[in-house]
Amino acid sequence: MAVNIDELKQLSMIDVAESLGMELKRQSGHTYYWTEHDSLKILANTNRFHWFSRDVGGDVIQLVQSVKDVSFKEAVRFLQEGTFSQVENEMIEPVKQEPFSYVLQPYEHPDFELGRNYLKEERGLTDDTINTFLAGGNLAEATRKKGDYFEPIIVFKYRGLDGKIQGASLQGIVENKVQYPKRGRLKQIMNHSDGLAGFSFDVGTPKRLVFFEAPIDLMSYYELKKDTLQDVRLVSMDGLKKGVISRYTADLLTDGKFSQANSYTSILKALDSLNKTTKLITDDLITIAVDNDKEALKFIEKLKEDNIPFQIDLAPKSDGVKKMDWNEYLQKEKAGEKKMPGEKTSEVIQKKQEKLQEERNLERTRDSDGDGLTDELEKSIGTNPYNSDTDGDGLTDSQEVAMGTNPLKPNPLSKELTTDQLTQLPTLSELIQAKDTKGLSKIMKEGIKDYFNSDQYKNYLEAISKLPSYSANNVMLLLSQNSEVSMVASFKKWQSDFERSVKKGQKALWIFAPYEFKLRDNNGQYKVNENGEIEKGIGFKLVPVFDVSQTQGKEIPQAVYELTDEGKIFDYETLYRALKSVSDDNKVAMHFQEIDSGARGFYNRETNEIAIKRGMTKAQTIKTIIHEMAHSELHNNKIVAEAGEKLTRSTKELQAESVAFVVSNHYGIDTSEYSFAYLANWAKDKESLTDLEAQLSIVQKEASQLIKKVDLKLEKIKTLNLTKDKTKESVFHEKLNRFKEKQSIQEKNKEPKKAKGISI
Q: Express each pLDDT in 156-207 by its tens digit.
A: 999 987 788 999 999 999 888 777 877 788 898 998 888 899 999 999 999 9
pLDDT at 564: 44
- pLDDT of residue 296 exceeding 50, the answer is yes
Residues 640 and 603 sit within 8 Å (Cβ to Cβ): no
Same domain, 19 and 163: no
Same domain, 64 and 109: no
- pLDDT of residue 118 exceeding 90, the answer is yes
CB atoms within 10 A of CB 242: 18
Q: 28 has which bridge partners? A: 31
Query: Of 285, 311, 328, at which residue does a domain stop?
Result: 328
How many angstroms separate the Cα of 703 from the Cα of each of 144, 571, 672, 693, 697? 51, 20, 16, 16, 10
Q: Express each pLDDT in 39-63 by its tens digit.
A: 788 988 888 988 776 667 889 999 9
Q: Express each pLDDT in 722-756 by its tens digit.
A: 555 555 555 555 656 666 666 666 666 655 554 44
**DSSP-derived 3-state class of residue 140:** strand
Residue 710 lies in a domain: yes
Same domain, 549 and 601: no
Q: How confident is the model at residue 482 (pLDDT cuts 50, 70, 90)?
A: confident
| Domains of the chain: total | 4
Phi, psi angles (nearest 5°) of residue 229: -75, 130
- pLDDT of residue 373 exceeding 70, the answer is no
HSE, CB side, 13 Å, CA atoms: give it for residue 137.
7
Residue 595 lies in a domain: yes
Q: 40 has which bridge partners? A: 51
The reported pTM is: 0.41
Same domain, 523 and 598: no
Same domain, 150 and 294: yes
Lowest mean pLDDT segment, chosen from 226-235, 277-286, 498-507: 498-507
d(CA 661, CA 577): 19
pLDDT at 401: 54
Q: 509 has which bridge partners? A: 545
Q: How confident is the model at residue 251 (pLDDT cuts 50, 70, 90)?
A: very high
Same domain, 504 and 602: no
Q: How confident is the model at residue 693 (pLDDT cuts 50, 70, 90)?
A: low
Q: How confident is the model at residue 355 (pLDDT cuts 50, 70, 90)?
A: low
Query: Of 273, 293, 328, at which residue does a domain stop?
Result: 328
pLDDT at 376: 62
CB atoms within 10 A of CB 601: 22
DSSP string over 60-120: HHHHHHHHHT--HHHHHHHHHHS------GGGBPPP-PPPP--TTGGGB-SS-HHHHHHHH
Residue 539 lies in a domain: yes
**DSSP-derived 3-state class of residue 169:** strand
Same domain, 127 and 54: no
Enumerate residues 6+ apart whose C-beta is below 8 A from 174.
151, 152, 185, 376, 379, 380
- pLDDT of residue 674 exceeding 80, the answer is no
- pLDDT of residue 257 exceeding 80, the answer is yes
Mean pLDDT of 337-364: 50
Residue 359 lies in a domain: no
- pLDDT of residue 126 exceeding 90, the answer is yes
Same domain, 194 and 315: yes
d(CA 288, CA 211): 5
d(CA 22, CA 18): 5
pLDDT at 248: 95
The percentage of residues in the chain with a pLDDT greater than 90, rounded to a whole number, is: 20
pLDDT at 418: 43
pLDDT at 155: 96
Same domain, 603 and 634: yes
Looking at residue 64, the DSSP 8-state letter turns out to be H
Q: Which domain holds residue 74?
A: 5-91
Mean predicted lDDT score pLDDT of the chain: 76
Q: Express each pLDDT in 427-477 by its tens digit.
A: 444 444 444 555 545 544 454 444 444 455 666 666 666 776 777 667 777
- pLDDT of residue 664 exceeding 70, the answer is yes
Same domain, 54 and 177: no
Residue 339 lies in a domain: no
Residue 58 lies in a domain: yes
Higher pLDDT, 502 or 3: 502
Same domain, 123 and 257: yes
Same domain, 113 and 85: no
Higher pLDDT, 426 or 586: 586
Residue 753 lies in a domain: no
What's the full length of the chain, in residues? Answer: 760
Q: Express each pLDDT in 193-219 by its tens digit.
A: 888 999 999 999 999 999 999 999 999
Residue 394 lies in a domain: no
Q: How confident is the model at residue 651 (pLDDT cuts 50, 70, 90)?
A: confident
Q: How confident is the model at residue 413 (pLDDT cuts 50, 70, 90)?
A: very low
Enumerate residues 6+ apart whose C-beta is below 8 A from 97.
192, 264
Q: How confident is the model at residue 252 (pLDDT cuts 50, 70, 90)?
A: very high
d(CA 694, CA 634): 13
HSE, CB side, 13 Å, CA atoms: give it for residue 261.
8
**DSSP-derived 3-state class of residue 337:** helix
